[in-house]
Structure 1
Amino acid sequence: MAKQAQTFFLEEWLKANSGTISNTNSTNSTPQSARAIIQAWADLRESLQQKSFTQQHYQSLHTLLNSGIALYVADPQVKLILAILSSPDLSLPSESYPLFLRLLYIWVRKSSKPSPLFINSSINVLFQLFSSQSVTNKSSLFFTEFLLLLGAFSFIPSIPENKRTQCLDFFCKIMEEEYKLVSLFDDLVPSVLSGIGYALSSSGSIHFIRILDTLFGIWNKEGGPSSSVQHGLMILHLVEWVLYNCIQSHEKIIIFSREILESHKSQYASFSIVMGAAGALRASNRSISSGLMELRSSAEKRLEIIATEYVSINGNDSVLLQCISLALARSGDVFSREKHSLLLCLTSAILTEILPLKRFYTHIYMNSGNKGNHEVKEHLQSVIFKEAGVITSVFCKQYAQANELSKNKVENLIWDFCQDVYMSHRQVALFLKGKDEELLQDLEKITESAFLMVVFFSLAVTKQKLVPNIPKEIQLDISVKILISFSCLEYFRRMRLSEYMDTIRGVAGSVQENEAACVSFVESIPSYGDLTKVHVSSNKMEFTWCKDEMQTSRILFYLRVIPTCAEYIPSSVFRKTVAPILFLYMGHPNGKVTRASHSTFVAFISSGKDYDDERVSLKEQLVYYYMQRSLEGYPGVTPFEGMASGVAALVRYLPAGSPCIFYSVHCLVEKASSLCSEFPKEPNSWNDLHDELEPCKKLLDLLLRLLSLVDIQVLPSLMKLLAQLVVELPEDGQNMVLNDLFAQVADSDDVTRKPTLVSWVQSLSYLSSQATIKGGGQRKHEKSSAIIWNKGRLFGLNRIFARM
């Protein structure tokens, strides 16, 4: 917090801390040139000499004030201003008086030692001016500037006590009688509060009681200012400023403040008391004063009382909720003692005020024109949203201190919120796609914050619930709910967070070795029917499952987690719930999704025990469809690495000699043959068409790798099919495959199959050379007879396999 010496104008400091942007008439305006300022003073001096105040002189006033904080008003200029204000020969326009008062205010605040003579003269002129009939139709701005100047005068250390008392008496009288005028417009509130701050910091017991009572009471009177959050923040920092700057000399203000805060039936508006209490807490954080420590206790109690009353009546005061949130965010650690009402208020504020997605979705569905755009943009610029991170941190601390009943209630609210956002945002995204992309992007800025809130809250939950003294069933239930919630918001994960990874590791580790928890998580995945539901768009029906990015992100989350617990998923659950979605998303255009689908298949194929007949039977059934889905999308949708890992898994983990392994080998050879046949077979064609032949080459490489992976029962069939494929290749293709085969067999340590493979490779090499010699136009016509019989000069394939 800034001390008094660190800022000239309290109202500007309050604006900065409340997130309010100063307007063009404030002291933050663009400085004018030195020549323009000199000329403006000269024009005002001329008006006094000519006894005439024209529009040009009025513009000179604006020129001076447009210099903002760069303007310095010295004693000679003060003498000129007082002379103009007290001159009976000048008829000043009513709108000029607030500007003259502002110049005097700048003089008072920026002068290190204002002249006592000019102080007395200024106060006398002010009182005469206020009572004069010449100032007709006093405006709200006039009253505001008058109060600000009175407060500033009373704050001067060297002011005579009688003058200070005179200023404060007049200040209190105006505040009590003209509160409607001085608080009618929102943009005047900072100046009114600043005047109150100056006056409080200089007042005696009678005056500060009246002023402090006005500070809190004016926001509860008819005709008072709108209860905006910015005004609440100004009250917070005003109280902080007053207490911190004046604690040594005005201990009595603390006593009265404590009396207000401890009043259970306060006549004051709740939100102003909340922010005042927060200001006291902030001041106490920076001081060891015993009075402030006592005030801190009273402030904490008052915050809890207001929160408890709000929760008990199920209130819907938007401003109060926001103020409670900001008060807790800016005042340090404050914890509920009994009913944890502060936590419940924070939860409500986060879900309805800080992340008001439900309200925005409703307004968009109502098709209310540009209202949705305006609301969302306004919220993105609001103080409450900009402090979402700090409020989330306070929220997590409040949760950690709560009892189990309150914790459970808050957890359920957050998990339900995740489900609601998933369902609603998907529909809104489909509705806005191509219609209002800007609104959709703005909404997703809020949902990204919602994701971060859920991540940090979930981490806080794991630290409280995934500990040894918590029953295992509770830990598992929490873990499953966190995983489901993360899946709902996975689409909004736009950055890598260590907190996210820590939470995932904790809850996934808890779930992955418990069958009941695994089943609960897996069965929460959207059904195949829901995923492929037909949507009507622009009077036509279309499938949107592969275009629904949010739904795809959620399924991707499941496909990444399921492999970690595949061992504990019963085959019946996998068959009914996972398999249909697994094969559906193998055809998704997103590479990450298809790779995750293949990984899930691999995890299931490699899971379980060999003696589990039901599981083995399901694996074999799935292989047939897996090969069909993989190869029909290759090349293109199916990633080769994913398919290769799936094939390697099925030949490794299925029973030896399983028919589905024979089927898989046959399908791969058939697909490779089909791909290779699409290209010409002239010499060097494989070198010229390197990139185009890449998919075919990859399949051949996979088939070669299978020579060392398939069981000995499948090996003869694989060699026969592979030989038939190789001899049909052009010469450079045959050479490539044979070179790879020679290298693979030479490096093999498998003493069981190596002799067979050596003989086979030699025979295949000979057959390939003969098929190449035949070449040309006769090759296609004679290849079958030449390879199999060839009048006894060549070894046929049957002879080869008989010899093996």
Structure 2
Amino acid sequence: MAKQVTTLFLEDWLKSISGCSSAFNSANSSPSSARAIIQAWAELRDSLQHQSFHSQHLQSLKTLINSQTSLHVADPQAKLVLSILSSPKLSLPHESYPLFLRLLYIWVKKSTRPSSVLIDSAVEVIAHFFLTQFDHSKSPILFSEGLLLLGFLSSAPLSSESSKTVSLGLISRLLEKRYRLIGSFQDIIPNVLAGIGYALSSSVSVHYSRILNSLLGIWGKEGGPPGSLSHGLMILHLMEWVTSSSINSRSVEKLNVFSHDTLETLKASSVPFAVVMAAAGVLRTLNKSAVNGAGLDIVSRLRISLEDRIEFVARDLISIQRGFTESGNNLTDNLCLECVALALARSGPVSSRAPFFMCLAFALLTGNFPLRALYAKLIEPLHGGSAGLRLSEVKEHLDGVLFKEAGAITAVFCSQYVSVDEESQVVVENLIWDYCNYIYLEHRQVALVLRGKEEELLVDMEKIAESAFLMVVVFALAVTKHKLNSKFNQETQVDVSVRILVSFSCLEYFRRIRLPEYMDTIRGVVARVQDNNSACVSFVESMPAYIDLTNGPDFAFLRKMEYIWSKDEVQTARILFYLRVIPTCIERLPTPVFRKVVAPTMFLYLGHPNGKVARASHSMFVSFISSGKDANEDEQVSLKGQLVFYYMERSLLGYPGITPFEGMASGVSALVRHLPAGSPAIFYCIHSLAAKANRLVKKDLTQQADMWKNWQGESEPCKKILDLLLRLISIVDIQVLPDLMKLFAQLVVELPQDGQNMVLNELYSQVAESDDVTRKPTLVSWVQSLSYLCFQGVTSRKQKSEENVAYAQTIDPSTHTGINARL
């Protein structure tokens, strides 16, 4: 890690790795040209020569600073700056001091071998200035630039031991007495921390503990900065950088001193978030560094002690007195939770500990995916509250480091799950499953309120929810791998499986991509549910009740809003999940439960305008009709017969238009195959289809004269119904077949000649290819009779078709040329 920083300014690295905004960039203006830089140095030499400093000289300073990323300051130029600063005759403007200190910092930072004499002189000049002239109430920027320069001088290889000691002592005094300057100006924090980092990596360790204590304690003092997640990340990676320097020294003695001083300081600090992040920064380096010999023992002890410090903070966060709800509303607790989560995610491998696991869960549900808080802010004004959710708040969270680290935090969270105690596992499982249900209930309202009004806000909210869904899926997979084995009893496995299925149903709306983890989890839990009667019933009964589906959520605060169940996309996605999963366990579902819970919802969603949803409802009907015998066979057969009547009515009412033909056709085929032979429900089905076809034929005859020329072309609704009836001829039982033949013949003789020829062609082909020796003789005779009737063109076919069918049995249609197809 140190190698990555050697070519950069430490403060800039801290800004970038902690996710700070570009507002912290060191250079706010465009770089100056080489000519302008040369001229600027000339102006400064002129000011020293004439012992006067004017506005053009200040502008020259700014010209140089604007090019600091490419600027190199040589020893003669550094000597010029020191001469200007130490000149008693020059009256410098206050705003020039930070710029002069920045030039010295660039000099000593970028020079390969700066003059050690000049470094000692710089330390002397700066120390004199800060001890005698510095007014701490005027310039936080000067304070930060001084700390940054002194910090680097304290660690510079060519600095003398005495200069390092002076620099460290001055840094310690400035931090302890003038820390309030940091709180008054947040932008200086990266510079202050970088200066502290340089100081902590100094080979002179006499002030190490005092400076580290100041680093940790700044955020806990009155007047200090309030503390934020970005500050915490700066502390983490600053300590990573410092620790890397200590370990790379290969000195066991130095490592031992570093370990002792660091731990003692962490134990004494009263600022939890800073302690956690500092400990994580050290851990991060320990986990990546190779240490041998005596150093290995030191590192091992240090690693355990650092985890103990993080656990101490974690235990306090999950104490009984706080609870989940309160910790979600307390800003200090929130920051600590977030820091613990990021610390564990960035520190590398850590041991599994229940407090870690619990804190990760709380952080994910309140920090990474703060949907509870966002929904509350959004819905509160609708109930008359004054608060509100701004789009900028949601975008800020999406752009924040916590949301971007959600994947890494989830990975640590799931890895911790396997090894913690079962009690903690169950507590967190319940938190996750309850969270899913809450998101479903709240997002229904939010989506209905925002849809068509504040689409951008809704889209951004759903980005957070979609990531929360991914977290739930990964966690659920970890749960199934751990608990769905012989180690746990069947009751536990069944309970876990049902809870996962219900949770997935709640978040199904946010499943935008096909995930292997999702499919693996579904396969695992469905296998447990479909083998257990009580689990099957429990899952099915978790489906929202019919009255809730049609009435919608509580809109007492929006009485003017009309609720339309088919436009509730969140609810529709959840019901679609049930429609897909219930068929897998239909064999275990008692008939009364299907009648009471499933049937009303199935029939409601048969009329859903989304074809995918409607087809799933038809598939549900097919599954039930095709299911095996219930314990009470008579009750099941009776219910199947009853459902057919309403199924046909509901399906044909929406056809064409809403009802997908493929779904209805599968339902009809299933019922004629699986209901008892001669069932009144089958007769009703055949008559309903014939009546619908008859109405559609009459309608199509008046609107589309050319539609009957090609059976294989684009099928109109009436042709699809006729095709379905044609297919049923081969599968209905013998008791129903005569009725079907009569109804079908009545339909065909009403068709125009092209239509008759087309249907007869299909009939001839179907009968000719049939190997059913029971019904084929009857069908052959019937097709011959029907073809004769069509050829004769009988006028009042509708009234006379029944007697003509009987009469036509003796007629040989093979002598007529009006039919193209032959047996």
Q: TM-score, normalised by structure 2?
A: 0.91
Quote the residue 1:604 is aligned against. 624
- What is the deviation of 1:129? 2.9
Quote the residue 1:547 is aligned against. 567
Pick aligned residue for 2:664 from 612, 628, 643:
643
Distance 1:537 1:498 in 2: 41
Distance 1:436 1:679 in 2: 44
Matched, 1:333 2:338: no
Quote the residue 1:568 is aligned against. 588
Report which stretch shifted further, 557-566 or 36-45.
36-45
Q: Is the Cα–Cα contact under 8 Å of residues 208 and 253 in structure 1 kept in the other structure? A: no
Pick aligned residue for 1:687 from 709, 712, 723:
709
Distance 1:364 1:664 in 2: 50
Matched, 1:760 2:782: yes
Report which stretch shifted further, 433-442 or 81-90.
81-90
Q: Is the Cα–Cα contact under 8 Å of residues 672 and 700 in structure 1 kept in the other structure? A: yes
SS in 1 for 2:662: helix
Quote the residue 1:283 is aligned against. 285
Alignment of 1:65-144 (within 5 A): 65-133=65-133, 138-144=138-144
Give the residue type in structure 2 aligned to 1:324.
V
Matched, 1:240 2:240: yes
Gaps of 5+ in 1: none
Q: Is the Cα–Cα contact under 8 Å of residues 414 and 474 in structure 2 kept in the other structure? A: yes
Distance 2:43 2:753 in 1: 101
Pick aligned residue for 2:611 from 572, 591, 596:
591
- What is the deviation of 1:135? 7.2
SS in 2 for 1:496: coil
1:584-611 Cα offsets, whole Å, 9 max, x none, are 0000111111010000000000002288
Distance 1:24 1:16 in 2: 9
Quote the residue 1:623 is aligned against. 644
Q: 1:693 to 1:798 in 2, by over 3 A?
A: same
- What is the deviation of 1:92? 1.6
Distance 2:422 2:78 in 1: 66
Report which stretch shifted further, 709-718 or 165-174.
165-174
Distance 1:175 1:147 in 2: 9
Q: 1:507 to 1:118 in 2, by over 3 A?
A: same
- What is the deviation of 1:450? 1.0
- What is the deviation of 1:4? 6.2
Give the residue type in structure 1 aligned to 2:566.
C
Report which stretch shifted further, 202-211 or 446-455.
202-211
1:492-551 Cα offsets, whole Å, 9 max, x none, are 111110000000010011101211100000000000000011656865363321111000
SS in 1 for 2:180: helix
Distance 2:31 2:388 in 1: 37
Q: Is the Cα–Cα contact under 8 Å of residues 677 and 735 in structure 2 kept in the other structure? A: yes
Quote the residue 2:674 is aligned against. 653
1:451-501 Cα offsets, whole Å, 9 max, x none, are 011101100100111011210111001000000000000001111100000
Q: 1:411 to 1:332 in 2, by over 3 A?
A: same
Pick aligned residue for 1:674 from 690, 695, 699:
695
CA-based RMSD of the aligned residues comes to: 2.5
1:719-740 Cα offsets, whole Å, 9 max, x none, are 1100110011011111111111
Distance 1:74 1:370 in 2: 56
Distance 2:484 2:388 in 1: 46
Quote the residue 1:307 is aligned against. 314
Quote the residue 2:226 is aligned against. 226
Q: 1:767 to 1:118 in 2, by over 3 A?
A: same
Distance 1:789 1:132 in 2: 124
Pick aligned residue for 1:320 from 336, 345, 350:
336
Alignment of 1:197-596 (within 5 A): 197-249=197-249, 251-252=253-254, 254-255=256-257, 257-258=259-260, 261=263, 266-287=268-289, 288=291, 289-290=295-296, 291-312=298-319, 313-314=321-322, 316=330, 317-337=333-353, 340-367=354-381, 368=386, 371-533=389-551, 539-540=559-560, 542-596=562-616
Q: 1:690 to 1:179 in 2, by over 3 A?
A: same
Distance 1:265 1:331 in 2: 19
Report which stretch shifted further, 688-697 or 648-657.
688-697
Report which stretch shifted further, 21-30 or 498-507.
21-30
Report which stretch shifted further, 748-757 or 658-667.
748-757
Distance 2:590 2:138 in 1: 82
Q: 1:183 to 1:256 in 2, by over 3 A?
A: farther
Distance 2:95 2:266 in 1: 44
Distance 1:119 1:479 in 2: 69
Quote the residue 1:195 is aligned against. 195
Distance 2:264 2:89 in 1: 55
Give the residue type in structure 1 aligned to 2:759.
V
- What is the deviation of 1:264? 9.3
Give the residue type in structure 1 aligned to 2:341.
S
Distance 2:803 2:496 in 1: 70
Q: 1:613 to 1:274 in 2, by over 3 A?
A: same
Distance 2:181 2:705 in 1: 97
Distance 2:24 2:362 in 1: 37
Q: Is the Cα–Cα contact under 8 Å of residues 7 and 13 in structure 1 kept in the other structure? A: no
Distance 1:303 1:336 in 2: 12
- What is the deviation of 1:182? 4.1
1:646-694 Cα offsets, whole Å, 9 max, x none, are 0000000000010110110111111111111112379745239998852
Q: 1:760 to 1:36 in 2, by over 3 A?
A: farther
Q: Is the Cα–Cα contact under 8 Å of residues 788 and 796 in structure 1 kept in the other structure? A: no
Quote the residue 2:820 is aligned against. none
Q: Is the Cα–Cα contact under 8 Å of residues 788 and 808 in structure 2 kept in the other structure? A: no
Distance 1:241 1:265 in 2: 21
Q: 1:132 to 1:404 in 2, by over 3 A?
A: closer
Distance 1:712 1:68 in 2: 95
Give the residue type in structure 1 aligned to 2:113.
K
- What is the deviation of 1:295? 1.3
Pick aligned residue for 1:730 from 752, 755, 764:
752
- What is the deviation of 1:638? 0.6
| Aligned length in residues | 787
Distance 1:456 1:488 in 2: 16
Report which stretch shifted further, 225-234 or 657-666.
225-234
Q: Is the Cα–Cα contact under 8 Å of residues 280 and 292 in structure 1 kept in the other structure? A: no
Give the residue type in structure 2 aligned to 1:319.
L
Distance 1:527 1:603 in 2: 21
1:84-132 Cα offsets, whole Å, 9 max, x none, are 2233343221011111111111111111111223223322322333345
Gaps of 5+ in 2: 812-823
Report which stretch shifted further, 656-665 or 86-95.
86-95
Q: Is the Cα–Cα contact under 8 Å of residues 73 and 106 in structure 2 kept in the other structure? A: yes
SS in 2 for 1:69: coil
SS in 1 for 2:562: strand
- What is the deviation of 1:695? 1.3
Q: TM-score, normalised by structure 1?
A: 0.93
Distance 1:543 1:215 in 2: 57
Report which stretch shifted further, 185-194 or 286-295.
286-295
Distance 2:629 2:208 in 1: 81
- What is the deviation of 1:626? 0.3
Distance 1:44 1:304 in 2: 55
Q: 1:746 to 1:631 in 2, by over 3 A?
A: same
